[in-house]
Structure 1
Amino acid sequence: MFNNKTTTTEKKSAVEMVNSTNVISKETRIVGDIDAAGNIRIEGQLEGIVQSKTKIVIGESAIIKGNISAPDAEISGKVEGEVFCTGSLYLNKTAVVTGNITTQKLIVENGAVFNGKCQITTSSQSMVVSKSNQSDGEPKKQIASL
């Protein structure tokens, strides 16, 4: 009468969970770091480091105060911090980035604002975001060759 078989929705594979998208809505404010295995889209406010193993999308209404690190990223909102992409970084026309960028490929739409230095890397370099023990407390980057 009762069947102990689990449904397909209950049995998500690791690939499906990694390909999922996490959303931080417009009305949300987070103070702290985020480390996501899957995609992440931020429309709200965040103060801290944001890392993803896949893609980060910063929406038009988003305000980020901290570093961003992902293989690919798309920015439409405001970012105060360093941005690290091992793949592509896309700055939409509404993007305002104040901080250094390190990426393999940079696409900038007409109207985007960028104040900082840009370093184009090769695929043989990896980027790690870490916090420094320095007195300013700002997150720092390290670039290591593989």
Structure 2
Amino acid sequence: MAKNFEPENKLPNMIGPGTKIKGDIETNGDIKIDGTIDGNITSKGKVLIGQNGTVTGEVKCTNCDIYGTFEGKLTVSELLSLKASSKLHGDVKTSKLSIEPGAIFTGTCKMDDKVSQPIAGSGNVKK
């Protein structure tokens, strides 16, 4: 008897340097951004904004590491890590926050251990 087998995708979605996207992204996995995104991102996994990455919009995810630039509204259900090279301008809602010396954070932060889990594909992110 044949068994339906769907391989688990361990590779993250990647937006490479020099790539610019205008629009919304929804994923069940992780995403790494080294390019530019002008739009909303919903991820059940980790969003990683690389040192040359720029995101402008609304992001909802489980975990987030920022090395580059983010401007907008950020909702992280678990851990938000702002690395030394990061620049964040906007409103943050997270359960846990880690800020390295040198990171720039301008905006508001609300910490709550009951931040809702993002639901990719639900259309719950509006611009």
1:117 partner SS: strand
> Does 2:111 align with 1:116?
no
1:90-101 aligned at under 5 Å gives the runs: 90-101=81-92
Amino acid paired to 1:59: G
Q: Report the Cα offset of residue 64 of structure 1.
A: 0.9
RMSD, matched Cα:
1.7
Report the alpha carbon displacement of residue 74 of structure 1 after superposing the two structures with TM.
Answer: 0.2
Match of 1:126 among 108, 111, 116: 116
Deviations along 1:43-72, one digit per CA (max 9) or x if unpaired, are 000000011111100000011111111110
* Number of equivalenced pairs: 119
Gaps of 5+ in 1: 1-10, 132-138, 140-146
Q: Is 1:79 aligned to 2:70, yes or no?
A: yes
CA distance in 2, matches of 1:22, 1:127: 19
Return the match for 2:61 from 40, 45, 70. Answer: 70
Query: Shift of the alpha carbon at 1:127?
Result: 6.0
Letter in 1 for 2:18: E
1:54 maps to: 45
Unmatched runs of 5 consecutive residues or more in structure 2:
119-123
Aligned to 2:24: 33
Letter in 2 for 1:130: V
Indicate the SS of the match to 1:81.
strand
Q: What's the TM-score, normalizing by structure 1?
A: 0.76
Does the CA-based 8 Å contact 2:58-2:125 persist in structure 1?
A: no
Q: Distance in 2 between matches of 1:58 and 1:115?
A: 17
Structure 1 position 20, deviation (Å): 3.0
